[in-house]
Structure formats: structure tokens, C-alpha cells
Amino acid sequence: MPDQGRTGPLAGLLVADFSRILAGPYATMLLADLGAEVVKVEGPAGDDTRTWMPPVRDGVSTYYLGVNRNKRSVALDLKDDDDRAAAQELARRADVLIENFRPGGLARFGLDYETVAATNERVVYASISGFGSGERGRTLPGYDLIVQAISGLMSLTGDPEGEPFRAGISVFDVMAGMHATIGVLAALKHRESSGVGQHVEVNLLSSALSGLVNQSSAYVAGGTVPMRMGNSHPSLFPYEPLPCSDGDLIITAGNSGQFRRLVEVLGVPELADDPRFSRNEDRTANRDELRPLLVERLGTRTRMEWFDAIIAAGVPCGPINTVDGGVAFAEDVGLDPVVRVAGPHGEAVPSVRNPITFSATPADYRRPPPRLDEHGAEIRAWLDKPLDPEGDDA
């Protein structure tokens, strides 16, 4: 059953994907893009995101399509003896198992780490939860929105005088998925020398606190509780949208050299030597005085006119796009952001390209997101066959 034609740095690895929704499927898709053979184990009703619509493409949720390419699907009812045995055999053969059940939830099916590792000591078993496996955390359901609230992210997002807002994506699900991927790769490297796998645990709240970076450090290292500042940055100015004649342009002058080039192209070079604005800390402290001086000049031209001029001066800036504009901009700068994955049924499913570029072992896109149980018969037949001692099909 493993696809001998797979390429990529992870070719030859078998990943048993017992995850659903976003964090786990995102991690397994990244591994699949890089060559791993991923078997997506779904319940009889399928991954919840299959029904999260609109939007849809050809009757399938685009949410599901976004995180499930390059996988094979098998539907197994873990309460059924035969299906449970098939799931356990898949776990026994896997190099990697990724799951995001509530901590301890797979133990009753004989699919917890201790049970799997007893027959597969080389397995790298990754668990993704909301709040960890401790006595208290394991009882709490983990949803990205809840973690955005609990972690403090929502207190940092939105207008200072308005209500807290969630981020526009499930940012900590994605972040936890990436952290799980990093953990799996590190554990695989350790397995090369030790010969044994290990249990990798990732939780959304820890990923959130790590991902808050300067904001969580402000409290942990400095005793400062940061609060939302709209689009302003607590430690830099300018680093926010500023209005031009036809709309806002994001301008980020991260150091004094960039600020000097900015004010030169704006036609007010004297601001770089003004003692109120000469250093970053001065510009940040006196932003209410500096902002109107910049806005006055920016209002004389359109945002794209200023974009071209400011970029030419070596100062980072960019328009505020909708998602279609973001994809178009990526195409314009040569990133080729969309791939089309042809499937056995003749469809070609557009998907966002894996963001990692390799010079020797590029990502490949061999399969569109699978239909529910699309590969069930094939996978069950493979699991019924004995393996030789080297782990190949007998």
C-alpha cells in the first residue's frame, strides 16, 4: 500500500492520522506534502470539516479541502471490533501517529501512546490538545476561539476603545499544527540514533503563549500587561496603516535608517533630525505628534503611488488587500501560490502551495483531498496482509 513513487525528504514514512478539524490535519498535510504517506482515519461520518460550509467547491467544504491534500482516507468505527483491530494494526505499522482526541480519549480503543508503543517502539506519537494532559487541562475542550480568549490574544486585538476581537483565522490551531510538525521531525531525528520513538505533546495554549512572543514577554520578563492598540505597535512607530488620498497604506519603519529614507521620499527630510523623532524610542513616545506630519504628506498622493515610491526608497510598506488581492500579489512577485492537484476522478482541485521551498527535494502534490473512505478497501486489504521483518509487503 505505501506509494513507492513518493518523492520528497519524508518519502518512505508512514503517518497514521487520527486527527480532525484543523491543527492535526494541517500538520499531517505538511508532512504529506514533503513525501510522507498519510492515511487519514475518519469515523463513519467523516471529518467534521467536511460539513463546514459554505463556501464549497463541487459540493465539498473548502475548509476541508484546505488541509487534507496528499492523503488517503479510510473510515473506521473504533467501536467496531474489526475496524478497531484495523486501526491498531495501522498504528503498529506507522512511523508517526498524530491525534487530537481529548487527552486519554484513545486509551479505551487501545490506541494510546503506551499501548501503541508496546508493539511499535519506533513510533513517534504526537498528541495535540487544547490545554495539555495535566489533571485540570485534560478536562477542558480545546477550541481555537476559546484559546484566543484565554491566552490574551483577544485582549490585544481590536480598537482600544472597542471590544476584544478574534483573529480572522484559527491562528493557534495553525500554530499548534506547525509546532507538532516540528516536534515530530525532531523526534524522528532522535529515532535515527536511538532506534526508538517517543511521545510528542503540543497544546494550543502553550502554542499561543509562545506565539504571542513580544506581548507575552512584556509580561513575563517586564511585568507589563499589554493591551490592544488597534493597528499600532507598542514599540515601533511608524508601524501601522496611514491614510493616503484614496485609502490606507501600511508603512513600517523599523529603524532610524528606514525612517530617514521614508521622510526623504515624503519630502520632509528635516523630521529625521528632529530630536522628537530621531530615535525609535522618541518616535514611539511622540507618535501623536509625528503621525499628523506624515499623514499630511501622504494625503497628497494615492496609496499605490506612495507604495511604488516608498518601496523604491527601501522602506517596507504595502496595501491592505482582501484575500484575492493577497493571492494576486503573490502571483505578481513570482511566488506561484496556487497549485492544482489532479485526482483519479478527473477533477483538478486548486490548493495553496506548501510554503517551504527545497532546492533538491521539493514538495509534491499527488492527490487531492480524499473522499470519505475513498481508499478504504485498499488500506484494509494492505492491513490484512502480513509484513516481512523489514516492514515491506509480504
Cell numbers 493557534: residue: 172
> What amino acid is encoded at 187 in this protein?
A
Please give, one letter per residue, the 3-state secondary structure of 322-381.
Answer: CHHHHHHHHHHCCCCCEEEEECCCCCEEEEECCCCCCCCCCCCCCCCCCCCCCCHHHHHH
Q: Which three cell numbers stand for residue 305?
A: 503611488
Angle at the Cα of 356 from the Cα atoms of 355 and 360, rounded to 5 degrees = 145
Q: What is the CA radius of gyration of the chain?
A: 25
**Annotated catalytic residue: which of 173, 248, 308, 388?**
173
Q: Which three cell numbers stand for residue 95?
A: 512511523
The DSSP call for residue 79 is T
Q: Specify whether 77 is catalytic.
A: no
Angle at the Cα of 165 from the Cα atoms of 178 and 151, rounded to 5 degrees = 50
Burial class (CB in 10 A: 0-12, 13-18, 19+), 51: exposed
Cβ atoms 16, 90 nearer than 8 A: yes
| Residues designated catalytic | 173
